[in-house]
Chain A
Amino acid sequence: MKNLYEQGEALLRLAEREANYVQVHISAPLQQKLELLSNKTDSFTSTEHVSYAVLVYVNGRSGTSVSNTFSPAVVERAIALAKASSPSEYFYGLPLKQQLHKLQIFDKRITALTEDGLIDIADEMIVGIADETVTLSAGSVTKQVSQDIIFTSEGIQQVEQSTALAIVAECIARKNGMIKSAWDYRQERQLSPLTPFTSALQEKATFFLDSKQLKEKMGIVIVKPEPFADLLEHAFLPNLNGKNNEKGKSCLTGKTDTQVISQKISIYDDALLPFGISSRACDLEGSPSQRTPLFSRGVLKNFIYDYNTALHTGKASTGNGGFSSIDFTNVVVEGEYQEVDKALVIDSVIGAHTADEVATDFSVTVERAYILKDGEKVPVTGFMLSGKMFDALQKAISLGKERKSYNGIYTGALATTGVNIILS
């Protein structure tokens, strides 16, 4: 049987017989997942999700097809779809081959992890989190070793190997009839110590147990990295997508080079971030990866683009091209830190994905929060957080120094005066 590289080449050659332009992407992640339930290991799964994706352009019409088996049918279906399609609104071609960066996204210590090694990690999670008050109710340890192969009709032949280890833990604290849940998630390309993760989660679960009803609103709200990343993803980032900008579906359209958010905040799309979870040498069209300033000290600098949308808008691709889509890679938020001694700190929210991405309106239930005052922390509950991400970023006063990553968004906590608190 052909290896993946040969398979990619074969699909490209076959497609080129009829198509003017071709993108081929083979992704082959090998995954081992160990699930935990009630302080015990529960089940072990092993899966390989190989996917063969082909995008063809035939006389300015495109067709996409995906399959999980290697067969000429995947190319044939893409061609048939392209022929049945109507002409794209515009099409300029695909990027030519360019020099690519070499990236750090592989850790052989992860590849070397055996089944017993994964069970050891799970045991360490249980020992680190469970005690007489806290139960590790559900969780998982997932090892992933992936191969990604990109071929294009413009000469790109890219093979990348990457590793990832993901840890998910949900725990419940119970004491004197009180109950509270806590959750955390970590996905990294390198093996790193587990203790900071488990001890923080354990502490979190117990600390919020005795939360009191929040009685009054506070001027400054600090949104921790996890809820901030969640809100940013659903209520703000889509406005930075070049396609939404082109279609007038972005609240940032026409605002390039103007001060839009606080000058304390800068935002980048950075596909070159060392060991970044979405780092890669090139996008699926073959454009080299780069670090794209989106906001620089609050000034809107750019949107993310694929090759065709960029050319159509008079820009250059930012290396965010997918298969007929424009996708973020690692989103990195940087900013100025300023000490805040009195604030309402939001640790976790639910419902961020129901936000209105264009209006940037959100209204979420706060699951865990505390009042920070003179170095003391008092856990509080029973309120909602609402507002516009636009205002929250405009009225930012500080970005926390401790950077964490969630869903490819790397950020510290946001301190702002631009959100509302709704008491119940």
Chain B
Amino acid sequence: MLDKIRQLLEKQDIRYWEFRQEEVVTTSTTAWNGTIKDMSSGAKEGASLRILCGNGWGFAHSSCPDAQKLVQQAVTLAKAMDRYGQKKDVAFTKTLKKKVESNYTKHPNTVSLEEKRDLVLKASKLPEKINNLRVVYTDNIKKKMYTNSEGSEIIQKLCYTYYGAEATAAVGDRMESAYKAHGALRGYEITDGLMDTVTEACTIARNLLSASVPKGGTYPVIIDGTLTSVFVHEALGHATEADNLLSNSTCLAGNENKQVGSEDVTVFDDGTVPDSWGSFFYDDEGVPAHKTKIMDKGVFSSYLHSRETAALTKNQLTGNARAQSSAYLPLVRMSNTYIQPGDADFDEMVAEVKNGIYLRGSKGGQVDPITGNFQFSAQDGFSIKNGELAGYLRAVSLAGNTLAIVKNISLVQEKYEDGFSGHCGKNDQSVPVQGNNPSISITKATVGGS
């Protein structure tokens, strides 16, 4: 197939091409209150061809690819775009011939379906004072093959494992739920942590029944490692994706190498963190994963790039072009994004805030990268009174503006405190992302409540 594609493309006037093939097998088990809800499996394969003809990109994908058809479709679309398009370019790497495989001690393929069933069955048995408990387990085994016109040939075997628990507790009309999850670029061995995650979700759900809603307004706040992960990803990370620079839609444009944040803030996006949910070896343009310092002591130091954004903005490649599957175009995406730990100890941070709010855990967030306005919701929290944690809170969310908030970060905890294994959505594509972060304190932010 590959030889046929090479042959057919030789006859065309093409600046660059890449061919991606992928095979993915997913197994998922879900149990609800000690009964199996769903046992499912997915198997997907496919191939896509992306070419640059003059100044036009063309892309064709099929689940049962036929070389002739793929080439013809991609060439037609690229030529159609060349007539109308603007300047296009690609950054080149040296030719890579690599075969890599992610780490595991117990490969999910060696674990029987019955064992994966029993795992969630057992974990979803209703504990005391919990009305509903849903537990899910998923493994995702990928084989990705990448070839391009530079002669690179890369094969990656990746094994992702994920589990999560959603617990609901109720008293009278009042109902509260909590979700906790963990994922890694590892094998079945990570499920050793499942019961702790279930217990944590149940404890939060039960506790939330006695939590109150804070009065909305402006406060000094501390956000824990999980929420910091969402903050760094949503508020800062998306604004550093260089495709947003090309469309002139990032609030960081014009701030390159300028002090935009407090000196305590150094931020990395790092696709090479071993075994992490957001890691990979090579991105979907065959570029090695990379540790990129996006903010250096408050100075905005780098965007994240694809081959195209690196070429058009004359920057180094960062290995951040990722696609949900071979059926999608790679986009500039984050991997593992985190603030470097500082020197504050948590109690010190609480004492410094004096009167404010401590927000914990995450229920997701969203940002408008153009204006930098963001919103995210915490799982729970505490009010801080006279330098100590006081009343327990629910329904707390945080809003603000990226450029304003990074200036207001006053303290960064001395260690990674907690993380968040999530899925980031962009242009209808979803990819796994992770953050392990310290807690941070912010001198002023808007907290949503009653």
Contact = CB atoms under 8 A, between A and B. Distances in A.
B371 A422 contact: no
Nearest to B70: A46
A249 B41 contact: no
A380 B121 CA distance: 52
A181 B37 CA distance: 43
Contacts of B106: none
A422 B448 CA distance: 7
A116 B177 CA distance: 50
Given A68-B46, A84-B117, A354-B375, A248 B38 contact: no
A248 B395 contact: no
Contacts of A50: 63
B346 interface: no
Contact of A248 (B46, B170, B363, B367): B170
Interface stretch (A12-20, A71-79, A269-277, A288-296): A71-79
B113 A84 contact: yes
Contact of B39 (A42, A64, A179, A365): A64
Interface in A335-390: 350-351, 353-356, 358-359, 361, 363-365, 367, 384, 386
Contacts of A135: 248
Contacts of A358: 168, 175-177
Contacts of B113: 80-81, 84-85
A138 B249 CA distance: 9
B86 A137 contact: no
Tell me which of B59, B63, B175, B427 has the highest count of chain A C-beta atoms within 10 A of its own C-beta: B63
Nearest to B26: A66
B426 to A, nearest CB: 11
B434 to A, nearest CB: 19
B176 to A, nearest CB: 7
Interface string B90-130: 00000000000000000000001110010001000000000
Given A43-B329, A66-B42, A48 B63 contact: yes
Nearest to A50: B63
B364 A115 contact: no
Given A46-B73, A74-B43, A424-B446, A249 B132 contact: yes
A84 B39 contact: yes
A249 B169 CA distance: 9
B175 A42 contact: no
A106 B286 CA distance: 40
A237 B35 CA distance: 25
Contact of B395 (A89, A356, A364): A356
Given A359-B395, A386-B450, A47 B368 contact: no
B85 interface: yes
Contact of B37 (A45, A324, A365, A420): A324
Interface stretch (A33-41, A95-103, A196-204): A33-41
Given A73-B43, A172-B248, A179-B370, A45 B84 contact: no
A343 B366 CA distance: 26
Given A351-B376, A365-B375, A68 B39 contact: no
A71 B324 CA distance: 23
Contacts of A367: 368, 371, 373
Contacts of A422: 216-217, 446, 448-449
A350 B370 contact: no
Contact of B59 (A46, A49, A361, A364): A46
Contacts of B243: 37
A45 B41 contact: no
Contacts of A351: 364-366, 374-377, 397, 399
B399 A62 contact: no
Contacts of B40: 63-66, 81, 324
A170 B427 CA distance: 12
A213 interface: no
Nearest to B112: A84
Interface string B60-72: 1111100000000
A364 B366 CA distance: 10
Contacts of B80: 44, 115-116, 119
B247 interface: yes
B24 to A, nearest CB: 9
A184 to B, nearest CB: 14
B218 interface: yes
Contacts of B84: 40-41, 119, 123
Contact of B44 (A67, A180, A247): A67
Interface in B344-388: 363-368, 370-371, 373-377
A69 interface: yes
Interface in A169-187: 170, 172, 179-181
Contacts of B57: 42-44
B77 interface: yes
Interface in A305-355: 324, 350-351, 353-355
A82 interface: yes
Contacts of B368: 181, 350, 367
A251 interface: yes
B81 A44 contact: yes
Contacts of B114: 84
16 contacts: A38-B86, A38-B247, A41-B84, A43-B59, A45-B59, A47-B328, A63-B41, A85-B113, A86-B35, A115-B76, A351-B374, A351-B375, A353-B364, A356-B177, A359-B395, A363-B216
Given A41-B81, A249-B177, A367-B371, 17 more contacts: A42-B85, A42-B86, A43-B329, A64-B41, A68-B43, A74-B43, A81-B41, A82-B39, A137-B370, A181-B249, A354-B377, A358-B175, A364-B397, A367-B373, A384-B446, A386-B448, A424-B399
Give the 8 A-B CB pairs with smallest separation, nearest first. Answer: A363-B448, A351-B375, A354-B377, A84-B113, A422-B216, A44-B77, A64-B40, A365-B375
